[in-house]
Structure 1
Amino acid sequence: MKQLHKALLTALFTLASTGCGEPTEDEQPTPILEEGESTEDAEQDASVAAGENLFKHETFRGNGRTCATCHTSGTGTLTPAQARAAYNANRNGPLFRRIDSDGRLGTSYSKLLNDATVTVDITLHPNVTLANDPTRRTLTLRRGIPSTVDAPSLDSEIMWDGREATLQTQARSALLGHAEVSPSRLPSTDQLNSIAQYEKTLFSSNAMRDYAKGRGPAPALPAGRSDSEKRGRAWFAETGVCGSCHGGTLLNRMTAGNPMGVPANSQFGTAFVSEFNLAGNPMLTFNVTNPDNTVTPVSSPDPGRMLVTGVAQEANLFKMTSLRNLKNTAPYFHDSSAKTLEQVMVQYKQVLDFLGIPNTPQDIADMTAYMYLL
């Protein structure tokens, strides 16, 4: 009966969101309650069902994309393999729109196919200007697609640079930008709320879902089975080298005493991805006006948080995404420069060396082995 109840709700909201108009206050259906179920529970079920339909199917008469076009089932993100499979199946499919083509020229999609990055337009903070074009107020960059698994319920920061205040504003911005929906056709407040409620039901495991809903403890770090995995765990749980930056339930919060000097509990840090720039992305030079009116020049292919806050000291800081379900959420880093966990450790090997933290090839192999367990 419960499944039938939800199926009926989904059907009702499918009709409401695909052109039949929303029912008036007098026409709102009365929820059918299951035994032990409150009206509030039933209304929440209905909202989630509506949000799932909007997330997966509704285009709002944009360019054919839905939220699920880029936030795919299972991982909540998009891999290069998925992008290539979609391209081979239909080169005119909704994923392939001029806005995310190479140089936005509409002739090739190598960045999307090889890196699974999309273009984002960032409004520069008033304190920030481009050195070679000081009147320009918007910067277009390519970034990876953050996962919608776990994060909606358990993350307080949204987007790589934290520029969105809520899940609702993020959905609205994505529809305007990536789906190219006309402002006159954007979803209503209720519809945005439904999308957000649906996103909060997406988890990497039952244990994570139970924790988010207050029904169980936070999932513990895996113990490791092999000697290599157990040594890798020590880097996270005992030495403090990994754990100082990857604390908290999702392993994405700074803890006290981190080597970056970033405040404890912050989700913004640096893995020196922009600094080392192993991807070879074009370098840009910015001028940042400080509170005392002095100017700090910053060179970076993507300075991340600095573009939003206008604080030079926050150059190259990015939100640390969840390490849970890590093996399934490639590619990694804000520029998708690491396609595998082995490539992640190529980056971190340079970080460890830069920070003067002793490490051996066996240490790197152990950390890699452990990351596959997260």
Structure 2
Amino acid sequence: MRNPPLYCLIASSLAGLLLLLGALAAQGPGAAAVASQGGARSPSPDPGLADTASFLHPGFLDPDCDPDLLPPWSAIRCRFARFLEGRRLFDDEHFGGNGRTCETCHSGRDGTIDPDEVALRLWLDPDDELFTHDGLDDFTSGTSRLEAHATILVRRELPPWVQLTHDPAATSVVLARGVPSTVNTPALDPALMYDLRDHTLEGQALGAIEGHALNTVPPTELELELIAEFQQTGRRFFSSEALRRFARGGPAPRLPLGRTASEQRGREFFVDAPWDPPSKKGLCAFCHSGPMLNTANEFVELPTGAPPGFRAFDIGVSTRNVLNNPVVSYDVTDFCGTTLTVESSDPGIMLTGPYDILPELVALLPPEQFCILHRAFFVNMHKTPQLWGVADTAPYFHDNSAKTLEEVLEQYNFMFESNVGFPITDSNVELTEQDIEDIVAFLRLL
């Protein structure tokens, strides 16, 4: 039988010591002194032990505190209280809604749901809270879509400049989308949701509580703050300890070197480099650069002139529409009153307002020149996701249309062949079977 790791022994010893001190302190102010002095009662309370007792007693764990304003011991207790309450809110609190919690859709090590998990949960409990409301085929019954693709229905309000061609009076549109993974994103990726519609974790949590959990009890500002804080600190929200350290101010992660020849060849696709066909070096890094592999690098030249750090692209997922989601026609009006009609199975950031969520565009195009780039230009653009831990977060893309990493790369070949989205698609790029094998081998290292 293997001996337990040293850190386990240390943790157990510390836990036992805290429990002992707490028990002694709970017996009375002088209990610890009695134990250490052979029965001679200490004439005065020991404030340190009393503080230990309050630390251990749940009634004294008040999360409504600011650890930065407290002395060290009290700050530790405050952080612990906030962590415990944040975890409870994330895992168990449904705010008087349909029974869903944050953990309902963001569970396990991948922070999302996939068809295998859906099938298991349906088999274990057909009344699982997942199978309600937007998890159903038409908001009322049926689970075929959820079982096949693990997508939920998302109702998006239409901005003032967008109308449905077939129903101009409509104020919203329903889209089928996957559940964004909570792995690495809360602490390290400020761009939230596939259409970038939320600017903060608090705003994202509120939207989910209202839209997916159908709450009847409104969350307080403190509760939203604690949910966000828990996602930024809890170990389950990081794919590696290195990324958790990075979130705390540690060194940025670096691309793994690769051990096999295939992994090393795959790495070349993610090295920042100018585009120099027929070489494919740096091809993936055009969009997946930076510490989190989710920003455009310095060599990208877009029609908009967007600088490094651009966060959304159209790679043809909505155009290809593998899952045959309903295609809707939109009438989109720009700042100068010009209306264009576009069709899409999911228009992405076009419904959010690209000039509101992409400040680099405002810097490039002053308000008086907004007519140069029509709002319809942004149709089908979606968030560029971070890639660390990507092997564990399938399915992929906003519609969960790629079930494997190989299918992800098939989508990129479609983009290259069909000349949609990314501007280098006119350069006769093609990922060979060997390229796909190498890229997948490298992605599994992340």
Q: TM-score, normalised by structure 1?
A: 0.88
1:31-87: CA deviation from partner (whole Å, max 9, x where unpaired): 9xx9x9353443233212101011001112211111000000211111111111000
Paired residue for 2:442? 370
In 2, Cα distance between equivalents of 1:226 and 1:161: 37
Paired residue for 1:50? 85
In 2, Cα distance between equivalents of 1:8 and 1:75: 36
CA drift of 1:266 comes to 1.9
- What is the one-letter code of the residue matched to 1:285? S
> Which has the larger displacement, 270-279 or 251-260?
251-260
In 2, Cα distance between equivalents of 1:285 and 1:73: 37
Matches within 5 A, 1:1-374: 1=14, 12=58, 37-106=72-141, 108-182=142-216, 185-201=217-233, 202-214=237-249, 216-237=250-271, 239-258=281-300, 260-261=302-303, 263=306, 264-309=308-353, 311-353=375-417, 354=419, 355=425, 356-374=428-446
Contact 1:9 1:49 in 2 (8 A): no
> Higher relative CO (CA 8 A, sep ≥ 6), structure 1 or 2?
1
Contact 1:10 1:49 in 2 (8 A): no
- What is the one-letter code of the residue matched to 1:187? P
CA drift of 1:257 comes to 3.1
Change (3 A) 1:30 1:318: closer
- Percent identity, please: 37
Contact 2:190 2:199 in 1 (8 A): no
In 2, Cα distance between equivalents of 1:346 and 1:134: 36
Q: How many residues align?
A: 357
Three-state SS of the structure 1 residue aligned to 2:347 is coil
Contact 2:287 2:294 in 1 (8 A): yes
Change (3 A) 1:66 1:291: same
- What is the one-letter code of the residue matched to 1:359? L
1:122-152: CA deviation from partner (whole Å, max 9, x where unpaired): 1111101110011111111111111112111
CA drift of 1:11 comes to 7.9
- What is the one-letter code of the residue matched to 2:152? V
The structure that has the greater radius of gyration is 2
CA drift of 1:321 comes to 1.4
CA drift of 1:340 comes to 0.7
Contact 2:413 2:430 in 1 (8 A): no
In 1, Cα distance between equivalents of 2:401 and 2:412: 12
Where does structure 1 lack aligned partners over 5 or more consecutive residues? 17-22
Three-state SS of the structure 1 residue aligned to 2:436 is helix
